[in-house]
Amino acid sequence: MPAAQTTGSTAEIHELPAVRLRDALRAGEVSAQEVTAHFLDRIAAQNPLLGAFVTVTAEQARADAAAADARYVRFCKDFGKGSGRDSGGSAGGLPLLHGMPVAFKDLTDVAGVVTTHGSAALDHKPAPADGALAAVLRAAGVVSLGKTQVPEFGLTAYSENRIAPPSRNPHAPSRSSGGSSGGSAAAVAAGLLPFAPGTDGGGSVRISAAACGL
């Protein structure tokens, strides 16, 4: 999908490539709260059909986005608005992925959020701490919007289980989005996320990305 030329309207946010959206956030062209609200609205509208998300952590996402915007205000006082655009890594305290929305496969622990592993057989309790992947990305400034659908224990090439509705292909909802990163791939392909991390032990990212045209 072609990139929008500006971020003057929230209707364009989900059309921006992830790198362009990251740059817009770091340059202060758009706020983390605006971006988060836009993607949460899209999830609310489209997830009932697509089943990409198992859990949406909207309240926490809004709080994290507000904290990101407050961090940006402090950054601007020290370095000036827009100075985070071109700097690599952390620009004087502004994380590389400042304010970027993301969601984690429901195989990855995120502190305070249940990880089901796609299995009804497990005791579903909130994770006490971030897993390694979530810890790295959250330290880099992302705003987590929730957990995406996976097959039970991530073992099959389709993302269906007894926990939540199956993840569907945004281009053909009667078809699968693949697996085991099917929920993540469907979310990115449908514009519910600008990007998403995946895990791949035997094609889990590759199958899902190919199925969803990424």
What pLDDT score does 85 carry?
A: 56
**pLDDT average, residue stretch 97-125:** 97
Does residue 2 surpass a pLDDT of 60? no
Q: Tell me what pLDDT residue 23 has.
A: 94
The rounded distance, in Å, linking the Cα atoms of 37 and 127 is 25
* Catalytic status, residue 204: yes
State what percent of residues in the chain have pLDDT above 90: 83
CA distance 35 to 16: 11
For domain 13-211, give the fold: Amidase signature (AS) enzymes (3.90.1300)
Residue 8 has pLDDT above 60, yes or no: no
Q: Is the pLDDT reported for residue 9 higher than 70?
A: no
| Res. 11: pLDDT tops 80 | no
Between CA 207 and CA 185 the distance in angstroms is: 9
Among 180, 181, 184, 208, the active-site one is 180
The model's pLDDT over 57-101, given as tens digits with 9 standing for 90+, comes to 999 999 999 999 999 999 988 776 655 554 555 545 799 999 999
What average pLDDT is seen over the chain? 91
pLDDT of residue 6: 40
Q: Is 208 known to be catalytic? A: no
Q: CA dihedral in degrees (89, 185, 172, 201; nearest 10)? A: 140
- Bridge-based pairing of strands 53-56 and 101-105 is unpaired
Q: Domain locations in the chain?
A: 13-211
Residue 198 clears pLDDT 50, i.e. is over it:
yes
Please pick, among 105, 144, 147, 176, the residue that the annotation labels catalytic. 105
Q: Is 180 a known active-site residue?
A: yes
* pLDDT for the residue 4: 32
In which region does residue 110 sit, left (phi positive, over 0), alpha (psi from -120 to 50) or beta (all else)? beta
Instruction: Give the tens place of pLDDT for each residue, 164-181.
Output: 999 999 999 999 999 999
pTM score > 0.75 for this model?
yes
Tell whether the model's pLDDT for residue 10 goes beyond 90: no
Closest CA to 65 of 117, 122, 138: 138
